[in-house]
Amino acid sequence: MRFVDSEVMERGLQFDGRLSEDFKLSTGTWVHAAQLRLEMLTCLGPFAQDVVVCGHGRDEVGILIVPGPEARDGTNENGALRSTGAERIRERMHDIASVTTGSARTVVRALVLADPLDMGAGEVTAKGNINFARLLERRADLVERLYDDTDPASIVI
């Protein structure tokens, strides 16, 4: 929580993200994942049903994209994003990165998930929310791919 207006505390408090989702980059800079997630959802529109912000202990912020209808239409039989879909996501990410300042607020890489979220494995809660910690744990191999500059499925801007 934080004050709506630090000068006029009577205006009340507002939600300021979940601390458990926040993390530090290798530089020691804090990334406020909840706010960044909302910004990326707005930026990516129909390409993303949801996003998971990654980068704990890394040099850059990345996202895993739970595909929306536009991204699903742009995948091949192996789940890899076709070049036109990847290019459109890259363009949108580049647009937002061009007006964003700071390493903690700039997403520079993305990977679209080919497999749906697994409620039985704990990636989704009973309320339908993503369990970010569990998803990142189960899909650690995808996070590694996200930061592998030689992986053709990784979208880097």
Mean pLDDT by 10 residues, the chain (157 residues): 77 63 93 93 92 96 90 61 75 91 93 92 93 95 94 84
Count: domains in the chain? 1
| Within a domain: 117 | yes
Reduce the DSSP state of residue 39 to 3 states and report it.
Answer: helix
| Within a domain: 12 | no
For 135, the domain range is: 18-156
| Within a domain: 5 | no
| Within a domain: 2 | no
| Within a domain: 13 | no
What pLDDT, on a 0 to 100 scale, did the predictor assign at position 14?
Answer: 66
Q: What is the CATH number of the domain that holds 84?
A: 3.30.300.30
| Within a domain: 4 | no
What pLDDT, on a 0 to 100 scale, did the predictor assign at position 16?
Answer: 55
| Within a domain: 7 | no
The radius of gyration of the chain from alpha carbons, rounded to an integer in Å, stands at 16
CA-wise closest residue to 19 among 146, 155, 132, 113: 132
| Within a domain: 45 | yes
